[in-house]
Amino acid sequence: MKKGRLSLGVDIGGTFTDFALMSASGEVRAAKVLTNYKDLAAAVLEGVRQLTDGAPAARAAIERVVHGTTLATNALLQRKGARTALLVTAGFRDTLELARESRFDIYDIDIELPSPLVPRKHVFEIEERVGHDGEVALPLREEQVKSVIRSMKEQKIEAVAVCLLHAFRNPAHERRVAELLAKELPGVPVSISSDVMPDIREYERASTTAANAYVQPAIRGYLDRLEAGLKGEGVEAPLSIMTSDGGIVSCATALRYPVRLIESGPAGGAIASAFYARETGIERTIALDMGGTTAKVCVIDAATPEQATEFEVGRVFRFAKGSGLPLKIPVIEMIEIGAGGGSIAGVSRLGLLQVGPDSAGSDPGPACYGLGGTAPTVTDADLSLGYLDPRYFLGGRMALDRDAAARAIEGQVARPLGISVARAAWGIHEVVNENMARAAKVHCLERGKDAREYALIAYGGAGPVHAYRVAQALGIKTIFYPVRAGVMSAFGFLVAPAAFEMVRADLSPLESADTARITAFLREMEIEGKKLVSTCGVPASKLSTEIEANLRFAGQSFELPVPVRGALGKAELAKIKHRFFELYQARYHRLSRDVPVEIVSWRVVVKGPRPKASIHFSKAADRKALKGRRKVFMPEAGAFVSCPVYDRYALGPGARLRGPAIIEEEESTAVVGPRAAIRVDASGNLWVRRP
Amino acid sequence: MKRRRYDPIDLEVLWNRLITVVDEAAYAVIRTSMSKVVVEGRDFGALLLDPRGRLLAADVSIASKTGTISVAVKEILKHFPAATLKRGDVLVTNNPWWIMGHLNDIAVIAPLFHRGRLVGFAECMAHMPDIGGSVSGRPREVYEEGLIIPPVKALEGGRENPLFFAMLGANVRVPNQVTADVRALVVGTSVMEAKLSEFLAEQRMTSLEELGEAIVSRSRQAMRQAVRDTIPDGDYEGSASVDGFDQPLHIHARLQVRGGDVHVDFAGSSPQSDQGINCTLVYTAVWSTYTIKCLAAPHVPNNEGTFSSIRVTAPAGSFLNPRFPAPVRMKPASGHYIPEAIIDALKDVVNERIVAESGNKFLVDFAGRDPAGRSFSDLMFIMGGMGARGRKDGLHCMSFPANSSNLPIEVLESTIPVRVLHKRIRPDSGGAGRYRGGCGQEFAFQSVSPTPITVRATHGKLGTAPNGLRGGMPGAAGAVFLNGKPIPDKVPQVLNQGDVMTLVVPGSGGTYPPSEREKAAVRRDVENGIISAEAAARDYGV
């Protein structure tokens, strides 16, 4: 790798930790190591060593480290976060338990709901009351708070969320409770709702705040170790963190709002997909990111991933909307499915083959890793079907045990169902693909989109292995396998802008808005945002600020965001109102100009420039493209067939092939079915067209 | 015209897109509505119908009005023949015998044109925060229950009919909210037209005729097949009762099931009441078809085909098919129990697809005037337990059978001058069983208004405990208290500043004998305070 300034992207997934190291000229090197749950930072340091070939000079040349992790998501999905307490206003212990009291499916009487992150026994009531206007109706009784804290101590609480009624209007009580907690429970992180998500509706706010607390200890411990570890390896560059909306923030900001990291890894993948969509001119793409634990699906139109202001984590019932936990955070819109290489297969009580959402992760991992895992997983099935080369997993750095995979599948799937190991392995492969396809279809349909009109971008360690069959199930013809598909999120971190979004609730009629006061706090927000973003190493001169006013007709409950373009004053207010009318008319086709318009909140986004990147691919000239042939299972033949195996690094731009084919790279393997047309573009990306 | 054949994937995609068109209309309604009952409670609906008034798609993802065949469009076409309708015309009515059974539900109906041709109708309806009439009395005729809107044009050629909006505004307590909500429904129909037109243009279709036919015929087949698979041919009888006013009302359901067709008849049910707890036949049919769909075919989408194999009849003059001008405004207080009678009839033949009796919900209407003279009026729901299922525990405080959402405390207090004192699960209110019933809740609030507030809490079945099924125990019954003294539900109360109303919502029944419950599940319930240690010992021996 050439000398000069380097940027490093690091993504910790549930199974692998991925690295992308990019030089100023756009050359990207990748690495992938097993995630080490006992010491997450250790895997990062190992990867850094691998990538820099042990050269301290290269490490010193790293001037930017951008990091993301799906740890928070995994902790929520698998309910493996901290032992969290929730403090609520007396009388409202059941806020989380009761949610919105509605069924997400009107007709299905068998629906299930996600269990709250904080069980009822760990919810404590605080005697206080703030009214809807922010006035204190019942002052806080500090003695009572202290006695609650004592009970929490006995229960060995590890993290605390505080969500008091109307705290978004007046945060005084929450702040005081936080002070008392800091004093009486030193070291236990505290999240207060008025800081994490200052918006009306107590259930959604409590759910978001509880999630913030639930993942905080794990994230904190880990980021601390990582920062120290990197310094120890001679990497002096500050650590920046990817957030769920595709922006980058400093470590300190991430520690305060870990709930905003929930989708950081997948956000990186979506940003990278958008980068490729822009570079290659694909109009409509569905990004499929399949890793070791979960798969994520994101719809990208016009090279822009869809954004949302809320996110539902862990849908527990048939991927149904409403069956997960709501989080109010800025996020790239995508869905997450419990389907990954580590997803465990088994036979359900109904005698049906079931795959996921439980995962073997990387510890003990799939049976074929030989690390003590005995449960059959998707990776075990992929290996048994010949899709993976036991001697070329991770480029040969990890040997897979084919017999162990077969034993696990035989014992826990084939024998109980009375079928062959091969049939069972294909069944596992097919069921997990169907799970992903079904979820993707629902996601598209909810948006009124037809999956068949899209191209599929496949990445993540297991994405390329499964993409062809998922595309088939979705009726998608074109599949795109970007270079470095195995470290896509880490690469996305490198092309994402530094950014931070802030929202401030401030209800006021538009006509009589106090523009001087608003300008003052917007200025404060902008300064704060610039401070937060410039800690990511972006010079202040390169930062841009976007301001939006969220407006509605007085009495409504939903707002439309309207851009603010000039200095706030009478003239700009009139323009804002005009823009609101235009947007409203376009969206709803009707308008009543006589109803007063009100401003509900202000949104300020401070953003750095999108880092320039031009991916540079050099073909490995010294290697033969055809590595050999091996027996792989192709359902079209209903049997194992002899299939050519190619070295992706030796396939130069312009190369054309025909399926069936196995195309291997270090981080992943693309499995392509019979009669498909395969070509390699100038940047080294693979394009597959299904027959 | 080219005949189009639909393979199963094409049909699924087009069909789901059509449902998405309706969903978008529903989103537009909540995003522009000014009432909490719509935005938070989700008490509204959006339907797409063909030019003959046959239902093609209904929103079930956000809206909570459950569907049945729309009578409103067919009736309204008798007054305004399709050929006379122009683009931009919007018709409106709230006739309880056509729509959802009481005057508070207003429906607007708009013809949908694509390239100058009538391709269907959009119907959007919602529960209004007020419809005028008496809030303090006990109406004995529908005339006393509020403004009756005959079929009229709310918009003509895209222009609002000022007379209609003036009449509407003059007759309700919160004119800004109600007229805004009717406009929100109109927005729903406009969005539906725009999205439908986009869809048709994109698909190069000129009408919904063939797609509609495919949807309706597939659904009819699927529904009949599902009924055949779930309910053996035969005659079944079941019953349920509700509190009523002076005496209980009796629901008697007789089901004739023949080869996938179902006829539900309510002969033998109580005569119509002089109080507003009558269910018009349309509304009786809503709950009958809903229940059969839950039991047999929850995943068949709602359209004409889905419901055409289910016929619902009730003797004219019974409370399930009352004669005009019977009072009807509290129809949920009886209609929500129709599913109990049908489940009672089928409980022995539908295997695991059962739900024990549920705790239902309180509908709480608020009306008053602040010291500045501004009116407020809105509605909220407080849910009881959903009964234990054939394979699973019941759900705490879950809206069943009617589906709506609660009103967040913070939104309630910002809208109505009350302070909520507590909202908590009632331990031990879920009936014991192998599968435990869901618990109800207790909800107490206090008036903080210097002026009086009229509050009507309607439930319908507080006095009797919700029964268990197949050996499961009953859940706890409910009650209403004003300043600690028991009061009847359904009767308007005046709350002065400081007065406290407490709503005790019933739990629900369990299924199968409690002795069959896993001990670990009992212990978990005790740990989380869902059942007391005494109840664990008494009911489960743990």
- pLDDT tens across A58-108, in order? 888 888 899 998 788 878 888 889 999 999 999 999 999 999 999 988 889
- Closest residue, chain A, to B181 (C-alpha): A556
A455-459 and A284-290 as β-strands: parallel, antiparallel, unpaired? parallel
Percent of chain B with pLDDT over 70: 96
Q: Are residues B347 and B396 in the same domain?
A: no
Contacts within 8 Å (CB) and 24+ apart, B132-136: B132/B171, B132/B172, B132/B173, B133/B103, B133/B329, B135/B365, B135/B367, B135/B454, B135/B456, B135/B492, B136/B454, B136/B492, B136/B494
Is B30 close to A110, i.e. CB distance below 8 A?
no
The CATH code that applies to domain A264-339+431-495 is 3.30.420.40
Residue A102 has its nearest CB partner, among B28, B299, B403, at: B403
- Closest residue, chain B, to A453 (C-alpha): B13
C-alpha A535/C-alpha A524 separation (Å) is: 17
Q: Does A587 touch chain B (CB under 8 A)?
A: yes
- Let me know if residue B216 belongs to a domain: no
> Please, which pLDDT band fits residue B68 given cuts at 50, 70 and 90?
low
DSSP code string of A371-400: SS--S-BHHHHHHHTTSS-TT-BGGGTB--
Is A121 close to B527, i.e. CB distance below 8 A?
yes
Q: Does A203 touch chain B (CB under 8 A)?
A: yes
Q: Does A154 touch chain B (CB under 8 A)?
A: no
Distance of CA A262 to the CA centre of its chain: 6
Asked if A273 and A457 touch (Cβ cutoff 8 Å), the reply is yes
Is B398 close to A101, i.e. CB distance below 8 A?
yes
Percent of chain A with pLDDT over 70: 96
Q: Are residues B360 and B348 in the same domain?
A: no
Asked if A519 and A570 touch (Cβ cutoff 8 Å), the reply is no
Length of chain A: 691
Q: Are residues B379 and B392 in the same domain?
A: yes
Query: Has residue B64 got a pLDDT over 80?
Result: no
Is B180 close to A553, i.e. CB distance below 8 A?
yes
pLDDT tens for B122-147 read 999 999 999 999 988 889 999 999 99
Asked if B139 and B156 touch (Cβ cutoff 8 Å), the reply is no
Is B34 close to A553, i.e. CB distance below 8 A?
yes
Nearest C-alpha neighbor of B397 from the set B505, B480, B489: B505
Helix (H/G/I), strand (E/B), else coil: A687: strand
Distance of CA A345 to the CA centre of its chain: 24
* Per-state percent for chain A, helix, strand, coil, to nearest 5: 35, 25, 35
Q: What element of type H or E holds A658?
A: strand A656-658
pLDDT tens for B174-191 read 999 999 999 999 999 999
- Let me know if residue B360 belongs to a domain: yes
Cα-based distances in Å from B284 to A224, A592, B45, B238: 63, 37, 17, 15
B491 by Cβ neighbours in 10 Å (0-12 / 13-18 / 19+) ranks as middle
Mean pLDDT confidence for B470-496: 97
Asked if A191 and A213 touch (Cβ cutoff 8 Å), the reply is yes
> Please, which pLDDT band fits residue B1 given cuts at 50, 70 and 90?
very low
> Please, which pLDDT band fits residue A351 given cuts at 50, 70 and 90?
low
Asked if A367 and A401 touch (Cβ cutoff 8 Å), the reply is yes
What are the b/e assignments for A319-352, b being 16+ CB within 10 Å? bbebbbbbbbbbbbbbbbbbbbbbbbbbbeeeee
Asked if B388 and B468 touch (Cβ cutoff 8 Å), the reply is yes
Q: Does A200 touch chain B (CB under 8 A)?
A: yes
Q: Spell out which residues of chain A touch residue B27, defining contact as CB-CB under 8 Å.
A: none
Strand order in the sheet with B479-482: B418-425, B441-447, B500-504, B479-482, B485-487
Cis bond upstream, residue A364 (ω within 30): yes
Mean pLDDT confidence for B500-517: 98
Return the residue matching tokens 């200095």: A567
Tell me the nearest-neighbour CA distance from B31 into chain A, angstroms: 5
Mean pLDDT confidence for B314-335: 96
Summary mean pLDDT of chain A: 89
C-alpha B272/C-alpha B314 separation (Å) is: 11
- Let me know if residue B267 belongs to a domain: yes
Nearest C-alpha neighbor of A142 from the set A91, A181, A97: A181
C-alpha A42/C-alpha B299 separation (Å) is: 49
Q: Does A586 touch chain B (CB under 8 A)?
A: no
- For Cα atoms B40, B46, B50, give the angle at the middle one, nearest 5 degrees: 175
- Closest residue, chain B, to A593 (C-alpha): B180
Residue A120 has its nearest CB partner, among B381, B403, B528, at: B528
ipTM above 0.85, yes or no: yes
Nearest C-alpha neighbor of A556 from the set B36, B369, B124: B36
Interface-testing mutation among B60, B383, B409, with chain A (most A C-beta atoms within 10 A): B409
Residue A593: what residue type?
A: R
Is A448 close to B60, i.e. CB distance below 8 A?
no
Sorted by sequence, the CB contacts under 8 Å of residue A595 that are 6+ apart come out as A553, A554, A555, B176, B180
Length of chain B: 542
Strands (DSSP E) found in A112-202: 123-126, 129-130, 136-138, 159-163, 190-192
HSE, side-chain direction, 13 A CA sphere, residue A672: 29
Q: Are residues B345 and B363 in the same domain?
A: no
Residue B481: what residue type?
A: F
DSSP code string of B15-37: HHHHHHHHHHHHHHHHHH---HH
- For residue B33, what are the domain limits? 8-207
Is A106 close to B399, i.e. CB distance below 8 A?
no
Residue A142: what residue type?
A: E
pLDDT tens for A583-607 read 998 888 887 788 899 998 899 999 9
Q: Spell out which residues of chain B touch residue A106, defining contact as CB-CB under 8 Å.
A: 60, 64, 66, 403
Helices of type H across B245-327:
281-296, 304-308
- Let me know if residue B1 belongs to a domain: no
pLDDT of residue B382: 97
Domain boundary among B323, B352, B381: B352
Computed from CA positions of residues A621, A625, A628, A633, in that sequence, does the dihedral angle turn out positive or negative?
positive
- Let me know if residue B221 belongs to a domain: no
Range in A483-487, A684-688, B81-85 the model is least confident about: A483-487
Q: Does A119 touch chain B (CB under 8 A)?
A: yes
Distance of CA A121 to the CA centre of its chain: 30
Q: Spell out which residues of chain A touch residue B297, defining contact as CB-CB under 8 Å.
A: 107
Is A131 close to B413, i.e. CB distance below 8 A?
yes
Distance of CA B452 to the CA centre of its chain: 30
Return the residue matching tokens 């790293």: A62
- If one compares A614 and A426, the residue with the highest pLDDT of the two is A426
Asked if A132 and B414 touch (Cβ cutoff 8 Å), the reply is yes
Which residues 438-457 of A have a C-beta within 8 angstroms of B? Answer: 445-448, 450, 452
Which residues 496-525 of A have a C-beta within 8 angstroms of B? Answer: none
To the nearest 10°, report the CA torsion of A441, A443, A445, A447.
-150
DSSP code string of A90-121: TT-TTHHHHTT---SSSS-TT---PPPSS-GG
pLDDT tens for B214-238 read 999 989 998 999 999 999 999 999 9
Domain boundary among B165, B192, B207: B207
Residue A106 has its nearest CB partner, among B60, B193, B381, at: B60
C-alpha B227/C-alpha B232 separation (Å) is: 8
Helices of type H across A395-503:
402-409, 415-417, 421-446, 463-474, 488-495
Query: Has residue A1 got a pLDDT over 50?
Result: no
* Through-space distance between the first and last CA atoms of chain A, rounded to whole angstroms: 39
Is B424 close to A94, i.e. CB distance below 8 A?
yes
Asked if B188 and B21 touch (Cβ cutoff 8 Å), the reply is no
pLDDT tens for B411-467 read 999 889 999 999 999 999 999 999 999 999 999 999 999 999 999 999 999 989 999
C-alpha A312/C-alpha A297 separation (Å) is: 14
Total domain count, chain B: 3
DSSP B537: I
Is B406 close to A98, i.e. CB distance below 8 A?
yes
pLDDT of residue A26: 75
Q: Does A231 touch chain B (CB under 8 A)?
A: no
Q: Are residues B136 and B272 in the same domain?
A: no
pLDDT of residue B15: 80
DSSP A270: H
- Let me know if residue B479 belongs to a domain: yes
C-alpha A25/C-alpha A22 separation (Å) is: 8
Q: Spell out which residues of chain B touch residue A198, defining contact as CB-CB under 8 Å.
A: none
Start-end of CATH 3.30.420.40 domains in chain A: 264-339+431-495
Tokens of A601: 């909140």
Q: Does A225 touch chain B (CB under 8 A)?
A: no
Domain boundary among B327, B352, B377: B352
Nearest C-alpha neighbor of B191 from the set B20, B35, B13: B20
Residue A434: what residue type?
A: E
- If one compares B5 and A160, the residue with the highest pLDDT of the two is A160
Tokens of B128: 């209004």
pLDDT of residue B513: 98
Q: Are residues B16 and B40 in the same domain?
A: yes
Is A553 close to B404, i.e. CB distance below 8 A?
no
- If one compares A315 and A62, the residue with the highest pLDDT of the two is A62
C-alpha A451/C-alpha A440 separation (Å) is: 8
Return the residue matching tokens 């049945």: B68
The three-state (H, E, C) secondary structure of B319-345, written as one string: CCECCCCCCCCCCHHHHCCHHHHHHHH
Q: Does A134 touch chain B (CB under 8 A)?
A: no
Helix (H/G/I), strand (E/B), else coil: B271: strand
- Let me know if residue B219 belongs to a domain: no
Q: Are residues B172 and B301 in the same domain?
A: no
Query: Has residue B3 got a pLDDT over 60?
Result: no
Residue B64: what residue type?
A: S
